[in-house]
């Protein structure tokens, strides 16, 4: 929040590094991940996007290293990391949104996943491989949501897009999960 209020990044980073040290000492993966994400955001504020992405990836790893994963933290960090990667020109937003939707779907955040997938489909620019991924994850999300007829339609789309892209692996995944 300090960054949003216009605070200089370096003092905020110093505070977040202290938070990370304390979280590590306490063995709290959730707080470790949030602290690492905040450190990444300070680098992002300074335009050092490569460092920002590196810290965000660390944060996702920190909060996901225990059996009782903090999926909501991973999802939040992934969203921030995706935005930063797009800003850095490293990844297109449609791919990042598709990955985020997968995480949200796995965590049971159906509406978040559906919104990310709708935006990813809009941005996919007709790319059949990306549309196959979007449709596969939409099918999975809808199935878990109990909307089976819509789910089957999405899996059928995923198989068709996979075939157009010539990606047998994606086709098998969609056929297997949608079976």
Query: How remote is the C-alpha of 147 from its chain's centroid?
Result: 23
E strand residue ranges, 53-125: none
CB 107 within 8 A of CB 79: no
pLDDT above 60 (res 179): no
Residue 52: enclosing H or E segment and its boundaries?
Answer: helix 49-63
pTM above 0.75, yes or no: no
Binned at pLDDT 50, 70 and 90, residue 154 comes out as: very high
Phi, psi torsion values for 78, nearest 5 degrees: -60, -40
């Amino acid at each position: 929040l300090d960054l949003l209020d216009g605070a200089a990044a370096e003092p905020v980073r110093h505070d977040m590094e202290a938070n990370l040290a304390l979280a590590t000492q306490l063995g709290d993966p959730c707080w470790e991940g949030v602290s690492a994400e905040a450190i990444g955001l300070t680098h992002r504020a300074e335009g050092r996007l490569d460092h920002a992405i590196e810290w965000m990836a660390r944060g996702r790893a920190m909060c996901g290293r225990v059996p009782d994963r903090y999926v909501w933290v991973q999802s939040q960090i992934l969203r921030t990391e995706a935005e930063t990667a797009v800003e850095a020109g490293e990844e297109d937003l449609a791919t990042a949104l598709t990955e985020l939707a997968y995480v949200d779907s796995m965590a049971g955040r159906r509406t978040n996943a559906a919104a990310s997938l709708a935006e990813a489909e809009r941005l996919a620019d007709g790319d059949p491989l990306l549309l196959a991924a979007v449709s596969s994850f939409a099918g999975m999300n809808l199935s878990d949501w109990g909307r089976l007829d819509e789910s089957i339609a999405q899996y059928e789309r995923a198989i068709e897009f996979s075939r157009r892209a010539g990606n047998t692996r994606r086709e098998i995944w969609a056929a297997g999960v949608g079976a």
